[in-house]
Every structure is written in C-alpha cells, then in structure tokens.
Amino acid sequence: MEYVIEMLNIRKEFPGIVANNNITLQVKKGEIHALLGENGAGKSTLMNVLFGLYQPERGEIKARGKVVNISNPNVANDLGIGMVHQHFMLIDTFTVTENIILGKETVSKGKIDLKKAENEVREISERYGLAVDPKAKISDISVGMQQRVEILKTLYRGAEILIFDEPTAVLTPQEITELIAIFRTLIKEGKSIILITHKLKEIMEVCDRVTVIRKGEGIGTYDVSGTNPTELANLMVGREVTFKTDKKASHPKETVLEISDLTVKDTRGVPVVNSLNLNVRAGEVVGIAGVDGNGQSELIEAITGLIKKDNGSIKLNGKELSVLTPRKITESGIGHIPQDRHKHGLVLDFPIGQNMVLQTYYKQPFSKAGFLNKREIDLKAKTLIEEYDVRTPGAHTPARALSGGNQQKAIIGREVDRNPDLLIAAQPTRGLDVGAIEFIHKRLIEQRDKGKAVLLISFELEEILNVSDRIAVIFEGNIIAEVDPKNTTEQELGLLMAGSKDKKVGVEKNV
Amino acid sequence: MSNTIRKISIPVISVLLGIIVGTIIMLVSGYDPAAAYIALWNGAFGEVYFVGEVVRQITPLILAGLAVAFAFRTGLFNIGVEGQLIVGWLAAVWVGVAFDLPKIIHLPLAVLAGAAAGALWAFVPGFLKARFRVHEVIVSIMMNYIALHVSNYLIRNVLTEKADRTENIPASASLRSDFLSSMTDYSRLHWGILIALGCVLIMWLILQKTVKGYELKAVGFNQHASQYAGMNVNRNIVLSMVISGAFAGLAGTMEGLGTFEYVSNKAGFTGVGFDGIAVALLGANGPLGIVFAAALFGFLKVGALNMPLEAGVPNEMVDIIIALIVFFVAANYMIRIFLEKLSKNKSKKGEK
C-alpha cells in the first residue's frame, strides 16, 4: 500500500528539550490516522514540522514516495497538506466565502469575483455534504459550522491530506456525530485524514490506524481493530490507567447546598434558570447533566454571587447566599473550579505561585498590614505544586507558560486546599488527557469521602456517569429529572438531556 | 541572551536608532550633526547651571511617567495626565497664595492639594469607566480640555482680577531652595526631585509589595478572574485612576511650587503630560526605567535650547529625535526580530 505522506525518524529539538525524538508517522491514502498522545507529548510539534513551521534536526519527510523539503507552509499547501486548527482562524465580520478565499482571491479586472467564489464554495460544500451557506457571516453561525468553514478552506486550497487538531473539543455531541459523517465522506472522496486527539473513544469509532507518541518518543503504530482503549491509554500514559473511577458507595449526610425555586433572567428578561430546585448533601457528588446552554453557567454564577437572581433562594448550610458579595460567598465555604480556566480561573500573566492565593492573598499569613508576604505565598505555592503534581519549572513561572492540564491542576489544588464545604467543578477535565482526568476525578471523590459536597457540571456523559452519586438533568433552566447513575445509561441520559421528560417512552422509541 | 538584557536592549537600541536617523535628517537638511550634538551636550552638562536645569526638567517628567505607567500596569490607559497636571498645578498654587501658614504646614498642604486635585480629575474617567463602561481614553482626553479652560478661567476671574498670572507664592509654600539654587549657579533646581524619587519608590512598593497592588494588577490583567476571586473590580478601576491622577497632580505641583512659583494663563497644553506617555513607554512602565527615560528626555529638552545658539540648529530637531525614539520603541517588534536573528546566527556559528 502506498503512503501519501511519511515522516520518518523525525527529531526536533528546542533549546533544552527534545520535543520529538525518532517519531515515524506513515499515512496511507484514504485512511483516518490518529495521532495519540498526552498534552505536551509533542503532537503539535510534529504537525508543525509537517506543516513547514519547524525544520526537523533529523529524519525525512516523503510525499507519495518522494523525499520533500517542507521549508514553509506554502510548500505544505502545494503538497496538498491542509490543517484545521483547534482555535479557528476566521474573521468574524466576513462571510463564509470571504474567509475561504482570503489570500487566494479570484480576481477579475482588479475586483474580487465573489459570485464565482461563492459558487465554487457552494459546489465543494455540497460535494462533501458540509451544508455551509457561502453567504452567511461567521459571527452568525455555530461553532460546528465554523469548523466546517475551516474544512472548506483547506479543500478550496486543494488539500489531499487534512490534519485535524482536537476537532471535537469544541463541539456538542450532535455536532461530533455530524463531523464523523463528514470524515467518512472525505475518505470516500479519496482524501486522507490525520486526527490529533487524546480521546480514545473517537479513535475506536472512526480511525483505521493510530500512532502513539509519549513524551516526544514514537511508541508505535497500531491497527485500531487490533487494539482496545485500555491498551491505547496504557501506551499513551506509559502505565496502567483505570477508566472507572474507584469509589465506595456514598454516605450522604446533611444538606449543604439548598436551592429552591431559583430563577435567573438574562439581559433580555428571558428566564435562563427557571424555578430550579436542587439539593447537594455532604458526602455526595451531584452531577448536572445537560447540553451546553441550558442554564448551567447561570446556575453556577448565581450560586457564586457573580450574577443576581430574580427569584428563589440559595442556601449554604442554612445561610442565604444570594445577599452576599462574591468574596463573602467564597469565604462562607465554596470552592469553584470554573469552566473557562483562562478567563475565570487564572490571571495568566501572574506567576503560577501568585495564582495559588487568588482568593486568600489578603489574609494571614499571605499578607500582613496591607503588605504581601512573598515567602509565605511561595511556600504555599510550592506545597500545592508538589501535592497536586503541577509540572512547572517553578512557582515564579507565568501561569500562561503551563500546559492546560497543569493549569487545571493548579486551580484544583487552590480550590480544594481552602477546604470548602461545597466544591463546584464545572467541566473540570475539558481538553485534558486521560492521565490528568484520572487525577482530577480521584480528587473530586476524595473531597466527597472527606464529607464535603461536590457539584459537578459537565457536558461529558461519561464523566457524569463515572463520578456522580446522583445525576440531575438540566433542560432549559430547570432540573427535569434525577437519576441514579448505577441504573441509567448514556442513551437514557442523552434523551433526558434533549428534553424528553418521560424517559420510559423515550427509551422505547429509541429501541 | 538573558531576559533582562533583552528588555534593556530594546530602549537602548531605540535611542541609538533615533539618534542615527536624526543625524541623517540633519545631514539631509544641511546642518552639521557633530556641532549639533556637541551643542546639545554642552547645553545640558556644559555648565553646572544647565545640570541644575536638567534635573529640574526631569522632575515633572518622572511624575508624569509614573502616572501613565501606574494606570497602564493596572490595565488602564490614562491619557489625561496633562489635564490632571494642570489642575494639580492650579490647586497647589492656589493653596500657596491663599494661606499664610508656617512652612512645615503650608508646603505639605500645598503639595497634597496638588495631588488631590489630580486624583479628583482622574476619578471622573475612572468612575465613568467603572460605572458605565465608558472608555477612559475618551473621557480623559476631554478632561484635558476642561482642565485647561477651567484653570484659565479660575486664574483670570477668581485667583486674580483679569491678570494673566497669579502673584508668586510665599516662601512658606515654595519648593525652591537657596542651597540647591546656589549650588547650581542659580538654576531653578528645587526639592521636588526628592518628591519625584520618593514617588518612584512608592509606585514600586504599591505594585510589588502590597495587597492592594496585587489586586490592582490582577484586575488589570484579567477582570473576569479577579471578579471570580471575589475582588471588587469597579472599585479597583477607580482606585487605579485616582493613584495615577495623584502622580500627575504632583507633576503639576512641581511646576507650580518649584519651577515657576506661580500659575499663569495657558494658551495651550504644557506637553509634559503627553511626554509622560513617551517616558512610560521608553521606561517599559517600570519605576527604574521611568527614571532613566525621564533623565534622557530632560537632558534632550534642556540641552536642545543651546543648539540654535551654539550650532545654528533649530531646537525642534530634538523633538524629531524624541519622536523617532518613541517610534522605534513602539515598533519594537522590528528590533526584536533583528535581535532574534542575530542570536540565532550566533548559536549556529557556535555549533559549527
């Protein structure tokens, strides 16, 4: 079988580290080839070598059997290599077509021939079943659609090999299903796909072969049909990984968080949280399952005092929270792992050490009489860095320089260390690899076992089912069902999340 | 290359490039650059009198630079330093001429009045930003004009009877010193330089050592995370502007109680407030950097006055050089790429 692209024994060094060592990646025509590795294993570096952004120190790249020198991205483009980035490179105020032709405009008499371009875009879109409206503005279309525009962009430029960098990280479950269908069409049309991911489920579902890299080393290439998720996870992490979080039965005690009849309206006056009732007790993990945008963010922000409620009450250990400032709420015993760690969890330009005291800096021993005590802050930072295995050169490294997983560990360390009665974890493992996910789930269970209340909000059903002791399904701002994770399935939950109140009927329909 | 060297190299290279391009412009326009630079140097250091004048000029520049930098470090762009400086100047002189008090009370009171007036003037854009999300740049620019004309009105109609300037402040409110003055051949050097250097220390202390500084910086870097962490974002925005304005007010106070000892009707802006932006930029918003940048600008501005006399080169030439320096600092991306290429070549050669 002929390979469309081969990267042989690639080595790439940066000052002080070897990012890639002896990695071989061979992609056959018409296959979906997964590139699997933990965060920071060197996947992006390898792809940047392929895309001509970095020059390898050793090794060679062959395209259709011929050795090539990809000295810059234009060479990669000419070879038919296209990349769909995780963070989209689109101009919000431009239309789909304008974005696609950017840099490759069809010009006639000094004017851009938008009509012709639109037709071309429409044609490609139809051929691959992308269903993108060429005239739509980027700011008006969904994230899933924007991703398709990125795909179109590479196809418009004649890509034969498409690299997808973590494409499902930003998508809803439905959009993921649709993306997989698009993958299949692309393959049918003779394209090849490299899928960068650390989600094992996706690999098992769509890929033909998988190349595993670990800490910059090439581990090997495997047929997906001849392997299983456990084996892949072990190869990727380099040790045994457990998927099922080990936990004993929960012993819930007194109610810690009591939300009754809570209503929150958005700026237009539409209720986004609608007469919601929810209790979380000490010693249990309550998982909130739901599709993004059903009031989860507003619920958390109302509990933590960041937005005002319109009606109802939120009580922590019997004390009304909604009249307090965010700081008083934090002090009364709430820890919060925010959904967006860059925006809400960290001050990225601060050293990681100073981020560890973001809620406690004004208290002793971190400060006295208005002056910071840097020694105590460093001490706390060092303890947490060690205890939570935050991999950083030191406490003075800017938070920005850490990988996502390590940033998240730092946040979790900070929040758990304050020993809150209620820990709110919103999407705590988003974008992280299995090793980090395992670590974080263990910590959440640990809090529960210490007799704390944990409220977990996640769009990942697997996570909800795995970690929660009780699942509350949120739909249009209301808890529409409560289920026991032991007696439910992903399918059942999925239907509830879509708003079907009577789960029995729903399941039967599905069967 | 270490980080510190890289940080320092950008302003240093910018200054060199500014001088080089300035030289070319002089050559093209038919002036003798060597004579011009000698005249510049003599104008600043040739006589002890000039040295005194340079230090005097540096004083308000440091404070204006601190004002811009403090706001910038906490995420705000205070372009209203000029206006805050004008009201600070007015308030300090007003307290100076209106009261008859012993020096130990009068002088501190006048200085504080200047700082307070600047703070109050900066409070307005800070408050509007915090309360209504009005951009501080727009409001503070408008506040500059209000400051200029309100100050002129008050001088003509309240402080004096249709005069163009107030009377001189009494010695009890003056920063002037016979000692400093006689030491520098009767220049206008005054004690204000100590206040300016003290403020440098204060800025460093606030930002690096205090709880408030930590909070102000956190809000400047990331409002959302600060809010999540329970900080009062709005109060910090206002506070940041107020502190910045106090520095600016002090810059005006230096002119009012030190350099001139009176306040006069102004046809236009003093320019010192705007120079503060350049000083902060060149000094990379760091307290020590600001001292160096202010020193450079002070030297250039005072030295320039000698250029037409000694070399026949218009002193506006120095304004061009200052503008060029600011341009190169702002365009530091260019310099950084150049430095990176340089260090890459070096390391490649090292390998071979």
- ipTM of model: 0.83
**Residues of A in Cβ contact (< 8 Å) with B229:** 330, 358-359
> What's the pLDDT score for residue A242?
67
A199-208, A470-479, B114-123: which range is least confident on average?
A199-208
Kindly tell me the sign of the dihedral angle through the C-alpha atoms of A394, A397, A403, A409: positive
| Closest residue, chain A, to B218 (C-alpha) | A347
Would the CB atoms of A350 and B227 count as touching at under 8 Å? no
For residue range B195-227, list pLDDT tens digits in order.
999 999 999 999 999 999 999 999 999 999 999
Interface membership of A239 toward B (CB under 8 Å): no
Work out the percent of chain A whose per-residue pLDDT is above 90: 58
Task: State pTM to two decimals.
Answer: 0.80
Confidence bin at B348 (pLDDT 50/70/90): low
Interface membership of A360 toward B (CB under 8 Å): no
Which pair of structure tokens corresponds to residue B230?
A: 């329970």
Looking at residues A346-351, what average pLDDT do you find? 94
Confidence bin at A95 (pLDDT 50/70/90): very high
For residue range B180-192, list pLDDT tens digits in order.
999 999 999 999 9
> What's the pLDDT score for residue A508?
37
**Residues of A in Cβ contact (< 8 Å) with B211:** 361-362, 367, 370-372
Looking at residues B320-324, what average pLDDT do you find? 92
Burial of A422 by CB count in 10 Å (0-12 exposed, 13-18 middle, 19+ buried)? buried
Cα of B3 to nearest chain A Cα, Å: 13
Burial A167-187 (b: 16+ CB within 10 A, else e): bbebbbbebbebbeebbeebb
Element at B301 (helix H, strand E): helix B287-304
> What's the pLDDT score for residue A243?
66
Burial of A129 by CB count in 10 Å (0-12 exposed, 13-18 middle, 19+ buried)? middle
pLDDT of A1 higher than 80 = no
A:B CB pairs within 8 Å: 64
pLDDT of B139 higher than 60 = yes
Confidence bin at A507 (pLDDT 50/70/90): very low
A4 DSSP assignment: E
Match 């289920």 to its residue by tokens.
A483
Q: Helix, strand, or coil here: B197?
A: helix
Query: Starting at the edge strand that comes first in sequence, how are the strands of the sheet with A311-316 ordered?
Result: A271-281, A255-265, A311-316, A319-320
Pick from B285, B275, B220: which is nearest to B70 by CA?
A: B285
Which pair of structure tokens corresponds to residue A303?
A: 């509990």
For residue range A193-221, list pLDDT tens digits in order.
999 987 888 889 899 999 999 888 899 99
Cα of B224 to nearest chain A Cα, Å: 5
**Residues of B in Cβ contact (< 8 Å) with A359:** 229-230
Confidence bin at A173 (pLDDT 50/70/90): confident
For chain B, the residues whose C-beta falls within 8 A of a C-beta of chain A are: 209-215, 217-218, 221-222, 224-232
Would the CB atoms of A338 and B215 count as touching at under 8 Å? no
Which pair of structure tokens corresponds to residue A206?
A: 């769509």
Cα of B72 to nearest chain A Cα, Å: 14
pLDDT of A505 higher than 50 = no
Which pair of structure tokens corresponds to residue A179?
A: 């993306």
Confidence bin at B150 (pLDDT 50/70/90): very high
pLDDT of A246 higher than 50 = yes
In 3-state terms chain A splits into helix, strand, coil percentages (rounded to 5) of 35, 25, 35
Cα B32 to its chain centre, rounded Å, is 31
Tell me what the pLDDT averaged over chain B comes to: 93
Which residues 6+ apart lie within 8 Å of A436 measured at CB? A38, A39, A405, A408, A409, A429
Confidence bin at A389 (pLDDT 50/70/90): confident
pLDDT of B349 higher than 70 = no
Interface membership of A367 toward B (CB under 8 Å): yes
Would the CB atoms of A347 and B211 count as touching at under 8 Å? no
> What's the pLDDT score for residue A506?
38
Burial B102-124 (b: 16+ CB within 10 A, else e): eeeebbebbbbbbbbbbbbbbbb
Higher pLDDT, A485 or B351: A485
Which pair of structure tokens corresponds to residue B91?
A: 């308030």
Looking at residues A19-45, what average pLDDT do you find? 89
For residue range B1-32, list pLDDT tens digits in order.
466 777 788 889 999 999 999 999 999 999 99
